[in-house]
Amino acid sequence: MRNSKHILTLAAALACAVAVAAAPAPAAAQTMSPVGGSDTKARAEGPQRPRPARSLPAPVDTHLHVVLRVTPNGEAEVVKAAELPGPAVFSDAPIGNYAYEVSKDGKTLAVESLIDPFQMRSFPPQGADDQGHHFERAASALVVVKVPHARLADADLGHIQVVLHRLRPEVKTETMNPAELTRVKDEGQVEAQWNLAAGQLAAEIRAKGRKVETQ
């Protein structure tokens, strides 16, 4: 009887061992690589291309703003000058019988019409017997000249010349530009000229000029 119980206990233990051995082992954890990883992204984008070089900004245009003092007898001098950013703006409207001409090495760069700089108007005080206004002639006058595409530091500033022309009173033009001024001069319709020699003009502009910076 005792032997039978011992045999049954051994048989049960053996059966448990067989069951444990037959059970499937737990599956090993699998490492998943992230979708769209660096390798996949690099293959999708292909070879890296070099970035284009950054282009430099285009040079800014400048011009000179020159104030001249002129006299009726043909004298002229620079009062002040400034280098301004941006292109010079000119009008071809014939507003008067005067015109200035800017040239460089004999080539005209700019022409602009002017009113009579020497003409002055005077008005009588209130209550005076004289009515209306009177015209007088000034002993000197200020004229503003714009020199395009120029800087104070330009090495060829001495090649620039400014001429102030006075047209005959009977001359009538619909416009005033380099071509029209050439026609008027060729026809002998210019009465007087104020001529600032290139060397003199450059020296005075540099001595009295200043550079105006943009904010």
The CATH code belonging to domain 62-119+137-211 is 2.60.40
Closest CA to 95 of 80, 78, 111: 111
pLDDT of residue 213: 82
pLDDT of residue 123: 62
pLDDT of residue 147: 97
184-193: average pLDDT: 90
pLDDT of residue 57: 57
Length of the chain counted residue by residue: 215
User: Is residue 43 predicted with pLDDT exceeding 90?
Assistant: no
Q: Chain-wide mean pLDDT for the chain? A: 80
- Domain positions in the chain: 62-119+137-211
Residue 48 confidence class, pLDDT cut points 50, 70, 90: low
pLDDT of residue 4: 47
Report the distance separating Cα 208 and Cα 101, nearest Å: 21
User: Is residue 149 predicted with pLDDT exceeding 90?
Assistant: yes
pTM of the model: 0.68
> Partners of 193 in the beta sheet?
165
79-108: average pLDDT: 96
The HSE-up count of residue 164 (CA atoms within 13 Å, CB side) is 27
| Residues 159-172 pLDDT 10s | 999 999 999 999 98
pLDDT of residue 1: 47
